[in-house]
Amino acid sequence: MKFIVSSESLLKELQVLGGIVNNTNTLPILDNFLFHLNANQLVLTASDLETSISSSIKVESKDSGIIALPARLILDTLKTFPEQPLTFVQTENNTVEISANNGKYAVAYLNGADFPKVAQVKDPIKIHINGKVLANAINATLFATGNDDLRPVMSGVFFQFTNTELTFVATDAHKLVKYTRSDIQADKSAEFIMPKKPLQLLKGILQGIDQDVAIEYNETNAEFCFGNLRMTCRLVEGKYPNYEAVIPKENPNVMQINRADFLNSVRRVSIFSNKTTHQIRLKMAGAELQVSAEDFDYSNKAEERLHCEYLGDDLQIGFNSRFLVEMLNNISSDEIKLSMSLPNRAGIVTPMDHVDEGENITMLVMPVMLND
């Protein structure tokens, strides 16, 4: 088989696919990209068994064939080339010869027929979501997923589609994010748990994409298609916890504050907190918020006062500063609202501006017991 391709186009596609290739694979062939040539169309595939990504590009050719080429070697080589046509020719001694403007390179290949087949999503439910909306949903939730191998359902993002709205939820039992779009509906109600790795890849690929993404899913697999890309992944098995039960409904104590000021204050004060608990104290009274931390082991402490709008009873509540910083970092609004009920009940963070119509973001952070 023989084909001619633009070095820049090939590199661009393979860099997207390269995100799926693991450093340590159970099957050696997964260290390779699959090149499937069919006349002037070249389909490129990478897989880690759980997730597969394919993309297609136009090439100059009349041949057909299927081979697997080493991913790391091909990527490292392509990165060094300026834009130029490259000619790939399959030789008789189990190598592919790549001809560039200034040289020739021989790469050993494997039989493409041994590459794992991409899972087919049988009898799927289908929905279309704008790429920008899907990227926003992933950005808002992915950071809140857990890493506990004993609770795999919490290591992914819960997709919940109904005929009134789409909901995306992530939690690690310390923090929870619920992202809802009431301006988009599904024809059929469905729910599934997307694993973290394919979502991290999607998050990067979807940046700046404003076209629709077609999602097809059944009980075991989901497939995302847009442009020339197709990503298929195995879903996380199990039942997602009842997240609605942990979101407090009555939160009479409400503070509104500038997000950047609050974030910077928490960051500074937390430097003086205990290195194990990362505990900071919030004390609200009138139009003032006091942020403080103390490390009794080293006699370090810090305290800052910020102006805020606060309605409710005087309140002191403790939080793990790392969780609070993560949440404030993942909100783009200028003003945020922190709603609370009691010092031992979760606080709810919501953005006050820069929210699309139909978009609703609720972030929940569990408190920590204060050492008085």
Q: Please determine, for residue 62, whether its predicted confidence score (pLDDT) is greater than 70.
A: yes
Residue 256 exposed, middle or buried by CB count within 10 Å (0-12, 13-18, 19+): middle
Helix intervals (H) in 97-213: 131-141, 196-205
pLDDT at 256: 97
156-205 tens-digit pLDDT: 999 999 999 999 999 999 999 999 999 998 888 889 999 999 999 999 99
The whole-number pLDDT of residue 333 equals: 95
Residue 343, both tokens: 């010092």
Say yes or no to pLDDT of 371 above 90. no
Residue 209's pLDDT band, with cuts at 50, 70 and 90, is: confident
Residue 94 identity (one-letter amino acid):
N
Mean pLDDT, rounded, of the chain: 95
Quick check: 150 pLDDT over 90?
A: no
For the chain, give every domain's residue range.
Answer: 2-114, 125-244, 248-368
pLDDT tens by residue, 245-260: 999 999 999 999 999 9
Cα(11)–Cα(20) distance, rounded to whole angstroms? 15
Q: If 0-12 CB within 10 Å is exposed, 13-18 middle and 19+ buried, where does residue 261 land?
A: middle
Q: Which CATH architecture has domain 2-114?
A: Roll (3.10)
Which single residue is written with the structure tokens 């041994």?
114
With a cut of 90, say whether residue 274 has pLDDT above it. Answer: yes
pLDDT score of 188: 86
Burial of 20: CB neighbours in 10 Å, binned 0-12, 13-18, 19+: buried
Q: 77 — phi, psi (to 5°)? A: -70, -50
Equal CATH topology for 125-244 and 248-368: yes
CATH label, 125-244, candidates 3.40.50.11540, 3.20.20.10, 1.20.1050.10, 3.10.150.10: 3.10.150.10
Domain 248-368 is found in CATH 3.30.390.10: no
Q: Residues 307-344: pLDDT tens digits? A: 999 999 999 999 999 999 999 999 999 999 999 999 99
Lowest mean pLDDT of 155-164, 205-214, 248-257, 264-273, name the range. 205-214
Residue 372 has pLDDT above 70, yes or no: no
For residue 26, what pLDDT band results from cuts at 50, 70 and 90? confident
Per-residue pLDDT reduced to its tens digit, 105-146:
999 999 999 999 999 999 999 999 999 999 999 999 999 999
pTM of the model: 0.92
- Helical spans, DSSP H, in 144-298: 196-205, 259-270
